[in-house]
Amino acid sequence: MSLEAAALEALMTCDPAHKCRLTQALHAAWGAGRLQRSGLSAAGRIAVPGRPARPELVRPDAVPRRNGHTPQAQAALLHAIVHIEFNAINLALDCVLRFSAQGDLFVSQWLQVAKEESEHYSLLATRLATLGFAYGDFPAHNGLWEMAVKTDGDFLARMALVPRLLEARGLDATPPIQARLREMRDHESLAILDIILRDEIGHVAIGDHWFRAECAARGLQAEAEYLRLIDFFEAPPPRPPFNVPARLQAGFSEAELAVLASRQRRPLSTGG
C-alpha cells in the first residue's frame, strides 16, 4: 500500500476509534520506512470525509450555547473540543493525501500532526465518557472541513486558512476555556488542554512554515497575502484578544498581530 492509499483509507474511515488506530499505524509505518509516496495525490474533491452518523451537523449559530457550570454544560464544552480534534485528524490526513508532492518532510510533519490530533481526540473522548457522555451527544458545526473543501485546489490557501487561520483560533480560545475549567474544578480536563495547547502551537507553526515558504516561492509578501486570502475566501478574520505568546511561538510576528488586532473587515477582493 502506498502512503496516499493508506492516508485515504484512514481519512475515509467513519469510526473515530478505528480512524485513530489507522492514523497511529500510518505514522508508525511511514517512520519505519514501510511506505513510499506514489505521487498519486488526491486531485478530486472529498466533500464528506469519513465520520460517524452523529453528531448532527448544524449551522455555527445553531450549536447550543455552553454557558454555566452544570454537568451538561461541562460535557457540551468538552464535546465541542472533541469535535474539533476529530476534524483535525481528517484535516491533517487530507494534507498528506492531497499535497504529498510537497515532499517527505511535509509528509512527516503532517503525519505527526495527524498522530497528535488522534491522541487529543482519544484523551478527550475518554474524559467525556467518564462524565457519562460520548462524542455525538451534542450538535456540532462543520466549519473546519468546509474550509478544507474550499481550499482543496490551492496549497497556499490551505496553509493560510486552515492551520494559520482557523486552527490558530484555538490558541486564542484555549486560555478562556481553561479558566472555565478551573472554575469547575475540572483538573483532569485542564491537564488535557495543557497538552493540546502545547501541541497546537507546533501545528500552527508547521502551517506557518509552509505558508511562508510557498509565498517566497511565488514571490509574494506573506503577511499581505494572508490578508488577501482571508478576504478572497470570505473567511472569518482573526479576532482579538489574541494569545500573543502562543501566536508568536507559532510564527506570527508582533507587527502582524498589531495589524490583525486593528484591522477592520475590508471589501471582498475580486482578484484571482
**Long-range Cβ contact pairs of 62-69 (< 8 A, separation 24 or more):** 62/139, 62/141, 63/138, 63/139, 63/140, 63/141, 64/138, 64/139, 69/180, 69/183, 69/184
Instruction: State how far the Cα of 87 lies from the Cα of 93, in Å rounded to an integer.
Output: 10
Provide the residue type at 86 as one letter: F
Question: What global pTM score does this model have?
Answer: 0.93
Determine the 3-state secondary structure of 223 from DSSP: helix
Instruction: State how far the Cα of 249 lies from the Cα of 211, in Å rounded to an integer.
Output: 15
Boundaries of every domain in the chain: 3-38+67-262
* CATH number listed for the domain at residues 3-38+67-262: 1.20.1260
CB count within 10 Å of CB 110 equals 27
- Amino acid 270: pLDDT: 28
Residues with Cβ within 8 Å of 118's Cβ and at least 6 positions away in sequence, in order, are 19, 20, 23, 24, 89
Nearest alpha carbon to residue 18 among 129, 118, 100? 118
Instruction: State how far the Cα of 150 lies from the Cα of 148, in Å rounded to an integer.
Output: 5
- Amino acid 59: pLDDT: 86
- DSSP letter at 55 equals S
pLDDT tens, N- to C-terminus, the chain (272 residues): 899 999 999 999 999 999 999 999 999 999 999 999 987 776 678 999 999 999 999 988 777 776 767 889 899 999 999 999 999 999 999 999 999 999 999 999 999 999 999 999 999 999 999 999 999 999 999 999 999 999 999 999 999 999 999 999 999 999 999 999 999 999 999 999 999 999 999 999 999 999 999 999 999 999 999 999 999 999 999 999 999 999 999 999 999 999 999 885 443 332 32
In this structure, what is the dihedral angle of CA atoms 150, 193, 8, 28, given to the nearest 10 degrees? 140
